[in-house]
Chains A and B, each alone.
Chain A
């Protein structure tokens, strides 16, 4: 079973920041938080990952709370092309497997 809880859907206005929450209250010390997204009819795409520090790359920012029990993926300026299902995943260090949950379906509104 997935170890994360995400809202089933969210809306965000185009051009605004999209903040996608994820709860992972049972995360253990050696588990990373990963985010993937799946645009309709495509395979999942890696976005970002982190352990305990906040991370930023060209796609998004990842904010992890100090107790590591929750995190937020931030798309700073959402576009229509960001409409997708976003998956938050916890993955143990040295564990090759990824278990996907149901994710959050993000709708970007024009």
Chain B
């Protein structure tokens, strides 16, 4: 099973701090998606990365896909309370299109 391991599992920081969360696999994957899920809601797609070494920025969020396409990271600069949520990475499950998710990093940003 080509699992996605996310770390850390939990992260609690103060507003204004920077943070990085990670998504790793023992297998190469062709592309990866990052989602954010707020309490009581479904996941919302943030970004899709497809090329090894790719870096994408979404305001204060920076997503990186590892050169070997086995890992990815999400860096948040100057975290805000609105960044609180569960950050999930997902890869495509074979040719059928369903997503395989990591278990997520639960981020809490305190004012």
Q: Do A and B bind each other?
A: no
Residues of B that sit less than 8 Å from A by CB: none
